[in-house]
Amino acid sequence: MNFPKVLLRAGVSKGSAVLLLLFGVVIVVLLLARATYDWWLVSLTGVLTLYTGLLYTATVTLAEEGKLSGESQIKALKAIERAYVFVEISFDGTLRSSPFGFPDEMYVKFWNYGKTPAQIDQIRAVTATLSEVPQVLPPIGDSPLPPALGIPQNVAYDVSVIVRLSDMEKAAVERMDKSLYCMGLITYRDIFGTRQETGFCWNLLYHMQRAVFIPTRSSSLNKRT
């Protein structure tokens, strides 16, 4: 049986495994010392062996802690320097309708509040009048955007979204039988090449006789990595 491997598989660190093995060696050495005339020499050898093992254990422990500390620092640095994209929906506050659907325009603003640019991979945005809070995006075109498209620091990338409401749909929204939602997803890459994403779902709400969009708290579409 390979005792070092058994100890490591049991979750014991390398330093602790070596220390346990050395303690066993020292005990064996001290038992042998009782059966020989050079007991003091054998005992001294055992003490030196134990001391060497303690030094090795301390070295291994420091090395493992240093490795973890270095990885944590790299992760923290990436988190500080990367791009962070947030969503805001801009609307003029007047919701119009017609028997066949009057085209109202709103803008989804993708703000990069990180320290470095965000390279856009894909943007999806759609509106829907629903009686329940959406938890899944409806089918939208998934064609990727050109790789040269990016969002600099503290700059917004605007996407125009058209909503067409019939008179019946607008009346249902005003009675709060249904809600008008604007939802979507942006995927992008930070300067480290890591794929990130921000999902959103906002619903229309009347405030002071004006229509405004606010984040839908109960929708799982609101997410960010």
CA 80 to CA 88: how far, in whole Å?
Answer: 22
Would you identify the CATH topology of the domain 85-224? Immunoglobulin-like (2.60.40)
**Can you give the pTM of this predicted structure?**
0.66
Candidate from 13-22, 48-57, 92-101, 162-171 with smallest mean pLDDT? 13-22
What is residue 206's predicted lDDT score, i.e. its pLDDT?
80
More confident residue, 69 or 105: 105
CA 149 to CA 147: how far, in whole Å?
Answer: 6
- pLDDT digits over 177-207, tens only? 999 999 999 999 999 999 999 999 999 988 7
- pLDDT digits over 35-68, tens only? 555 555 555 565 566 656 666 666 666 666 656 5
Average pLDDT of span 78-99: 85
CA 136 to CA 219: how far, in whole Å?
Answer: 9
Q: Name residues whose C-beta falls within 8 Å of residue 104's C-beta, 6 or more positions apart in sequence.
A: 94, 95, 96, 162, 163, 164, 165
* Residue 50 vs residues 38, 62, 119: alpha-carbon distances, Å: 19, 18, 57
Confidence of residue 26 (pLDDT cuts 50, 70, 90): low
CA 155 to CA 175: how far, in whole Å?
Answer: 37
SS3 (DSSP) at 207: strand
